[in-house]
Amino acid sequence: MKVPPLFKKAQRWFFSTPDRALDRAYRSALAIKALEDEYFEGGMVSPESSSYSEAVIAYCRAEVRKNLGIINSSLAEFKTTRSVLSLADLDKGIADKVYDLEFRERSGIVIEKINFIDSVVRKYKVSRQSKDKIAVSLVEIPKKPPQSQRQIVPSEPRMPAIIDPMDKRPNNKEKVETISDKAGVLPRSLLKTFSRIQREIDPQSQESEEEILKKFRQSRDRTAISIRFLLILVIVPLLVHQLSKTFLISPLVEQSLFTESTETIFLNEDMQKEAIEELKAFEESLHFRSLLGIGPSLSAEEMETEVKHKAEELAEDYRGRGSTAIANIFADVCSLIAFTAVVFASRKEIAILKSFIDELIYGLSDSAKSFLIILFTDMFVGFHSPHGWEVILEGVARHFGLPESRDFNFLFIATFPVILDTVLKYWIFRYLNRISPSAVATYKTMNE
Please indicate, yes or no, whether residues 20 and 157 belong to a single structural domain of this protein.
Answer: yes
Per-residue pLDDT band for 333 (boundaries 50, 70, 90) equals very high
This prediction has a pTM of 0.51
Angle between helices 54-92 and 100-121 (to 10 degrees): 160
Total number of domains constituting the chain: 3
Lowest mean pLDDT among 217-221, 262-266, 345-349, 383-387: 262-266
pLDDT of residue 259: 66
Per-residue pLDDT band for 138 (boundaries 50, 70, 90) equals very low
Please indicate, yes or no, whether residues 283 and 236 belong to a single structural domain of this protein.
Answer: yes
Q: How far apart are CA 347 and CA 362, in angstroms?
A: 22
Per-residue pLDDT band for 411 (boundaries 50, 70, 90) equals very high
Lowest mean pLDDT among 120-129, 160-169, 322-331, 363-372: 160-169
Per-residue pLDDT band for 403 (boundaries 50, 70, 90) equals confident
Asked if the structure places residue 201 within a domain, the reply is: no
Q: Domain containing 448: what range?
A: 364-448
Please indicate, yes or no, whether residues 317 and 369 belong to a single structural domain of this protein.
Answer: no
pLDDT of residue 195: 67
Cβ of 116: how many Cβ atoms within 10 Å? 15
**Of residues 181 and 263, more confidently modeled:** 263
Please indicate, yes or no, whether residues 383 and 341 belong to a single structural domain of this protein.
Answer: no
Q: How far apart are CA 124 and CA 136, in angstroms?
A: 7
pLDDT at residue 42 is higher than 70: yes
Boundary (domain end) residue, out of 362, 386, 407:
362
**174 phi and psi angles, rounded to 5 deg:** -130, 150
Q: What's the start-to-end Cα distance of the chain, in Å? A: 85
Asked if the structure places residue 189 within a domain, the reply is: no
Contact 415, 386 (CB under 8 A): no
Please indicate, yes or no, whether residues 217 and 172 belong to a single structural domain of this protein.
Answer: no
Asked if the structure places residue 19 within a domain, the reply is: yes
Q: How far apart are CA 150 and CA 84, in angstroms?
A: 24
pLDDT of residue 205: 54
Please indicate, yes or no, whether residues 147 and 252 belong to a single structural domain of this protein.
Answer: no
**Of residues 313 and 6, more confidently modeled:** 313
pLDDT of residue 148: 42
- Percent of residues, the chain, with pLDDT higher than 70: 71
Output the DSSP codes for 346-411.
-HHHHHHHHHHHHHHHHTS-HHHHHHHHHHHHHHHSSTTHHHHHHHHHHHHHHHHTPPP-HHHHHH
pLDDT of residue 97: 43
| pLDDT, mean of residues 111-131 | 70
Which helix (H) or strand (E) segment holds residue 232: the answer is helix 209-244
Per-residue pLDDT band for 105 (boundaries 50, 70, 90) equals low
pLDDT at residue 123 is higher than 60: yes
Asked if the structure places residue 263 within a domain, the reply is: yes
pLDDT of residue 212: 72
Please indicate, yes or no, whether residues 44 and 102 belong to a single structural domain of this protein.
Answer: yes
Q: What is the pLDDT of residues 161-187, one digit of tens each?
A: 444 433 444 444 444 443 334 445 555
Lowest mean pLDDT among 128-137, 229-238, 380-389, 404-413: 128-137
Please indicate, yes or no, whether residues 84 and 172 belong to a single structural domain of this protein.
Answer: yes
pLDDT at residue 139 is higher than 90: no
Q: What's the mean per-residue pLDDT of the chain?
A: 75
Per-residue pLDDT band for 237 (boundaries 50, 70, 90) equals very high
